[in-house]
Amino acid sequence: MFFNLTPMAVVILGAIIGIAFALPLTVDKENVFANVLDLAAEMIFIIAAQRVLLKNTETAAQTAAQNQAAANHLQRQIDELTEKIAKRRVRLIEIRKT
């Protein structure tokens, strides 16, 4: 329900919830309650940031492995072509000698 809302709807919902919880509370209780919610939000931010970091690190490692595999494949192709060129040179020299 909450995660499919537009950004504006989330802001409005947050405002309504904040006002609804704050109205019956004293100022001291509002501060305590707000600090608890703030702490919970900070924990959610830290968890989300760490998850993004781990995902990005994993993606970067996979990309590096793919790039290395591609580079190895290209090097094998270069080596094969170099070997074919060398063999054809030898063959060409043999043909010229006859």
Q: What is the pLDDT of residues 47-84, one digit of tens each?
A: 999 999 999 999 999 999 999 999 999 999 999 999 99
Question: Where are the chain's structural domains?
Answer: 2-97
State pLDDT tens for residues 23-49: 999 999 999 999 999 999 999 999 999
The answer to whether the CB of 13 falls within 8 A of the CB of 5 is yes
Per-position DSSP letters for 18-44, written without gaps between them: HHHHHTTS-HHHHHHHHHHHHHHHHHH
The answer to whether the CB of 33 falls within 8 A of the CB of 25 is yes
- Tracing tokens 């919830």 back to the chain, one arrives at 17
Q: What is the C-alpha separation between 90 and 98, in angstroms, rounded?
A: 13
What local confidence, expressed as pLDDT, does residue 72 receive? 96
Q: Which residues of 27-43 are buried (b: 16+ CB within 10 A; e: fewer)?
A: eeeeeeeeeeeeeeeee
